[in-house]
Amino acid sequence: MAKVPLPVNKILIQVRKLCDAAGFDPAVVVENHLEAAVRRRLRLTGLSVADYRDHIQHDSAEHGEVLEELLVRESWFFRDLAPFGLLGELAQTRWRYRTAPLRVLSAPCAGGEEPYSIAMALMSGGLPLATLHIDAFDLSRRALAQAAAGEYGARAVRLIPPALLSGWLEAASEGQFRVQQALRNAVRFHQGNLLELSGHFGPEKYDVVFSRNALIYLNAQARARVLDHLVGLLKPDGLLFLGHAETGLLRGRSFAACDYPGAFVFQRPSPSGPTPRATPVPRARSVVLVPRPSTQNPVTVALPPSVKPVDDFASVLAQARALADRGVYAAAADLLTTLLVQQPGRVDVQHLMGLVRGGQGNTLEARRCFERALYLDPRHRPSLEHLALLLAASGEDAEKVRLLQRRAERSDMPQ
Ligand SMILES: C[S@@+](CC[C@H](N)C(=O)[O-])C[C@H]1O[C@@H](n2cnc3c(N)ncnc32)[C@H](O)[C@@H]1O
């Protein structure tokens, strides 16, 4: 009698357990993500479902491989801009005369885009590379391999200020850019799970910790545990940078939010200090990131058209709107990204980007855009309405949805 093939769902329970152990939020890693991950591993290993079930039970390296399929590794240089502007300013002011190395941790670091941006921003503020100690950490071996190679496509480098781009990256093959060796040497990469973060480092603490855009993928218990590690790794008065959707996670931890719009940065209270208060970091202003004094021949890097300065903001915005209306979302998103580099504080552009991300089916990013628009203008009615719809559709807390709807209704009333 012919053997009946084992259905894929027989392995999903096993993979779900691996995800739980890694701290992944089951609300984010839904059933069809798991199935797609397993199907991809089946294709790549060439194993039958039954053989793969044996393989995953006996080979722990396969655990890492299947989890890799579920990780969101997307990152880019100077993501959100403001955190790096703030680092540049602090390098020029607070840290200017320090003698000890400035210790920074980027966890998670994805493919290295964040720690390399941190190094460039600090150097642009005047700190020499030799005075920086930068550790970077991630679960993904694939991301870390990219970090070590230091090669990126045009999309990832599009927000690097041109002077830093030509100062620290060189043209590689076919439209790729490579981070120069000196900068690559300045970052130490480590592999591991955020749940065991502290165990990877010695007792010396950090002046600055970046932990952006990973906590949102973790379940509540894992988030709390990772936050405990992060707090433990920070020096008193140290700065913790979170992703914009993650700032609420510090509630109840007596961190002080710093007054630097768009940077989502918090200061750890000093144990001797009375009540934590916002650190006197400079207010947002336009930050000039300067190139390092180069001893080498300057590299000319051909930028893709989307990173050239936009002459006519209004007409590019109209073009992006027309593309979005026609459902040409990827092109619309590219134009909007360029506009947001120039004017990150434009509510209408953030809102349109939210619609475009929604159109692309990226609800997480759409939500972030609407939240960013509301951060800039808490009474922006279209963003209140769209965010309420988005939350309702994803089955979020009904009270939160009602609150947004009520804010939308009241948004036109005089204050
Ligand atoms: C979206 S990227 C964010 C990278 C960067 N911080 C940024 O904001 O651009 C998320 C990264 O978190 C990593 N990651 C997710 N869960 C992790 C875990 N439990 N431990 C360590 N890294 C994890 C992923 O491998 C991925 O590289």
143 in contact with ligand 1, CB cutoff 6 A = yes
Confidence of residue 147 (pLDDT cuts 50, 70, 90): very high
The CA 217 to ligand 1 mean position distance, Å, reads 9
CA of 110 to the centre of ligand 1 (A): 5
Distance in angstroms (rounded) separating the CA atoms of residues 198 and 171:
37
The whole-number pLDDT of residue 277 equals 42
Asked whether residue 331 carries a pLDDT value surpassing 80, the answer given is no
**Å from CA of 331 to ligand 1 middle:** 26
Closest of 115, 198, 154 to residue 302, by C-alpha = 154
138 lines ligand 1 (CB under 6 A): yes
Q: Quick check: CB of 110 below 6 Å from ligand 1?
A: yes
Average pLDDT over all residues of the chain: 85
Lowest mean pLDDT among 186-190, 215-219, 241-245, 279-283: 279-283
* CA–CA distances in Å: residue 381 to residues 109, 230, 388: 35, 36, 11
Please tell me the pTM assigned to this model.
0.71
pLDDT value of residue 2: 57
The answer for residues whose C-beta is within 8 angstroms of residue 194's C-beta and 6 or more apart is: 23, 107, 108, 137, 139, 211, 214, 218, 222, 226, 229
Cα(310) to centroid of ligand 1, in Å? 32
d(CA 314, CA 329): 18
Is the CB of 25 within 6 Å of ligand 1?
no
54 burial level (CB within 10 Å; 0-12, 13-18, 19+): exposed
pLDDT reported for residue 267: 94
Q: Which residue would you say has higher pLDDT here, 2 or 35?
A: 35
Q: What architecture does CATH give domain 309-410?
A: Alpha Horseshoe (1.25)
Q: What is the mean pLDDT of residues 229-238?
A: 95
Domain 82-267 identical in fold to domain 309-410:
no
Report percent pLDDT > 70 for the chain: 88
Q: Say yes or no to pLDDT of 110 above 50.
A: yes
Instruction: State which of 19, 73, 155, 241 you would mutate to test the pocket of ligand 1, scoring each by most atoms of that ligand within 8 A of its C-beta.
Output: 73
| C-beta of 108 in contact with ligand 1 (< 6 A) | yes
Structure confidence at residue 292 (pLDDT): 35
**Residue 89, pLDDT score:** 92
pLDDT at residue 257 greater than cutoff 70:
yes
**pLDDT per residue over 179-214, tens digit each?**
999 999 999 999 999 999 999 998 999 999 999 999
End-to-end CA distance of the chain: 78
Q: pLDDT tens across 30-44, in order?
A: 888 888 899 999 999
For ligand 1, the distance from its centroid to the CA atom of residue 407, given in whole angstroms, is 33
* Mutation pick for ligand 1 pocket among 217, 265, 364 (CB with most ligand atoms within 8 Å): 217
The highest-confidence range among 29-33, 111-115, 305-309, 377-381, by mean pLDDT, is 111-115
**Model confidence pLDDT, tens digit, residues 376-403:** 888 999 999 899 888 888 887 788 888 8
Confidence at residue 318, expressed as pLDDT on a 0 to 100 scale: 83
Say if residue 286's pLDDT is above 80: no
The pLDDT of residue 214 is 94
Which of 84, 117, 138, 227 is the pocket-test mutation for ligand 1 (most atoms within 8 Å of CB)? 138
The pairing of beta strand 102-106 with beta strand 177-179: unpaired
pLDDT given for residue 311 in this prediction: 52
The ligand 1 atom at the shortest distance from the C-alpha of residue 193 is: 20
- Who has greater pLDDT, 110 or 48? 110
- Residues 6+ positions from 358 with CB-CB distance below 8 Å: 366, 386, 390
**Residues 59, 3: Cα–Cα separation, whole Å:** 25
Contact in structure between 186 and 148 (CB atoms under 8 Å):
no
* Residue of 174 and 18 predicted with greater confidence: 18
Q: Is the CB of 211 under 6 A from ligand 1?
A: no
Is domain 82-267 classified as CATH 3.40.50.150?
A: yes
- Of 25-34, 168-177, 200-209, where does mean pLDDT reach its minimum? 25-34
Mean pLDDT of 358-383: 88
Instruction: Compute the average pLDDT of residues 334-341.
Output: 80
Domain definitions of the chain by residue range: 9-68, 82-267, 309-410
Asked whether 113 and 75 are in contact (CB, 8 A), the reply is yes
pLDDT of residue 169: 96
Pocket test for ligand 1, best of 71, 114, 187, 264 (most atoms within 8 A of CB): 71
> What is the Cα gyration radius of the chain?
23
pLDDT at 141: 96
Mean pLDDT score, 56-74: 91
pLDDT of residue 142: 96
Extract the tokens encoding 2: 């012919």
| Index of the ligand 1 atom closest to the CA of residue 143 | 27
